[in-house]
Amino acid sequence: MGADHPECPERLHAINDQLIASGLLDHLIHYDAEMANKDQLTQVHTNEYVEWVFQNAPAEGLINLDGDTAMNKYTLSAALHAAGATVQAVDLVMAGEVENAFCCIRPPGHHAGRSGASGFCIFNNIAVGAAHALKQHQLQRVAILDFDVHHGDGTEDIFHGNPQVMLCSTFRHPFYPYTGAESGNDHIINVPLAAGTRGTEFREAVTQHWLPALDRFQPEFLFISAGFDAHYEDDMGGLALKEADYLWITETLKQVAKKHAQGRIVSVLEGGYALHALGRCVMTHIKSLSEL
């Protein structure tokens, strides 16, 4: 997205390097992401927006979709593979080929709403996967758990009126995108956190608000919007979580999945811009998911 932009290719390099250093990489099953098609995208985005992205993808240089989000000549392909990864992961889990999956992708997705890009996000990757699970696999209830430091306003925009999807979200507030504090309902469980919130308060928020709602909802599939920018080393975020907190939330959601969803989880990379912390946190998350 341009020089010095935090949503950069080095994010995935940092994750891969940490997986190699930890010895995990060789023990994981790897898949190259397929590309999402327009029919899959328009389950969650308007036809007009999807066509606009395709038509405006530049052959050279950069085009700005909003103040934070740009496209170059490779971005459309990357965004289609990112959304397609979640579809492919759902199919793999539903077929029983894998118990769960982590989609190591960029650009992220949870700020992309029904009709627009926002906050580094072009297509809402996790929403595409969730809609695919409902439509193609005839599931009745899926849950999206979002612990990114920013509210997943795009995901809420897409599913606010759909009671088949529960969205549970923790996020710093007031903070970009300045949404979520008062927009919840029976299946949108928003838990704003104050600047500087540490792991103890984060765990209390999840325990008191997410877990009772998930027990009532009984999701058949869990999706995780895995943003790691609430880590204390990520100076763009302003929260103070540590690797131990990401281990705890992963283990907690695994128990929810085992209780209600036959263990089925697809986790999707969202934010996280302090590269060393990002690598360590994702490694911790994947190690827990893979039980290695």
pLDDT in tens, 198-242: 999 999 999 999 999 999 999 999 999 999 999 999 999 999 999
What whole-number distance in Å separates Cα of residue 239 and Cα of residue 268?
20
Asked whether the beta carbons of 51 and 139 are under 8 A apart, the reply is: no
pLDDT band at 11 (very low <50, low <70, confident <90, very high): very high
* pLDDT for residue 248 is more than 90: yes
pLDDT in tens, 257-276: 999 999 999 999 999 999 99
| Amino acid letter, residue 185 | N
Task: Compute the radius of gyration of the chain from its Cα atoms.
Answer: 17
pLDDT in tens, 149-179: 999 999 999 999 999 999 999 999 999 999 9
Beta-carbon contacts of 207 under 8 Å, excluding residues fewer than 6 positions away, are none
Q: What is the mean pLDDT of residues 107-117?
A: 98
> How many C-beta atoms surround the C-beta of residue 52 within 10 A?
16
What whole-number distance in Å separates Cα of residue 100 and Cα of residue 255?
13
Give the distance from CA 52 to its chain's centroid: 23
pLDDT in tens, 35-77: 999 999 999 999 999 999 999 999 999 999 999 999 999 999 9
CATH of 10-290, one of 3.30.70.580, 3.40.800.20, 3.40.50.720, 3.30.365.10: 3.40.800.20
pLDDT band at 292 (very low <50, low <70, confident <90, very high): confident
For the chain, the domains span: 10-290
Residue 77: the pLDDT is 98
Residues tagged active-site: 111
HSE of 70, CA atoms in CB hemisphere, 13 A: 16
* pLDDT for residue 2 is more than 90: no
Q: Do strands 70-71 and 63-64 pair parallel, antiparallel, or not at all (unpaired)?
A: antiparallel
